[in-house]
Amino acid sequence: METLQLKPLIERYMSASFNVNRVMHALLRKLMPENLTADQHETLCYIRERGTCTSSELADYFFVGKSSITAIVKRLVEKDWIERRPDDQDRRVTYLALTPAGEQLIEEMQTKIEELLARYIVHFENQEALQFIETFEKLANLLVCEEEVKENL
């Protein structure tokens, strides 16, 4: 693609991305319980997806320092949404897992998010929605792959 064609596309992407993120974050905040932050929610979702993980894994995945993750984990443990599980073979390793209360919270949030997104997705034809998601996934994969390459250098 020529550079002259790229600039207006980048500007359109940046504008649309900013507006989607701004509004969606506001809508998601309204759905969340008062004692749950966006960072905590994302952390819970990651742990749910993986089953268990370590604090180091979370820090790497979210591109933040271990001290930031430690603070989030501490609050999630205090709220009884996650628990720490020592590794059977290596006591220096601690895994994080959702508690039943954490599972229930994430399940409730997932339902609310699906209902929210469905209100917007129904405005697209099936093929249009599918093409959008596939294109968006392609962008996500490119970004993730590039970051992984940078980390391994």
Give CA torsion, residues 115, 120, 124, 125, to 10 deg. Answer: 10
Q: According to CATH, what is the number of the domain 7-122?
A: 1.10.10.10
Predicted TM-score (pTM) of the model is 0.83
Q: 85 has which bridge partners?
A: 95
Q: 84 has which bridge partners?
A: 96
Query: What is the pLDDT, as a whole number, of residue 15?
Result: 96
Query: What is the pLDDT, as a whole number, of residue 71?
Result: 94
Query: What is the pLDDT, as a whole number, of residue 1?
Result: 64
Q: Which of 55, 44, 113 is nearest to 81 (CA)?
A: 44
Residue 67 CA to residue 22 CA, distance in Å, equals 27
pLDDT tens-digit readout, 92-129 = 899 999 999 999 999 999 999 999 999 999 999 999 99
Query: What is the pLDDT, as a whole number, of residue 125?
Result: 96
Q: What b/e sequence results for 68-80 when a residue is b if at least 16 CB atoms lie within 10 Å of its CB, and e otherwise?
A: ebeebbebbeebe
Query: What is the pLDDT, as a whole number, of residue 7?
Result: 87
Query: What is the pLDDT, as a whole number, of residue 145?
Result: 84
Residue 56 CA to residue 111 CA, distance in Å, equals 29
Query: What is the pLDDT, as a whole number, of residue 153?
Result: 59
Question: Which regions in the chain score pLDDT beneath 70?
Answer: 1-4, 148-153
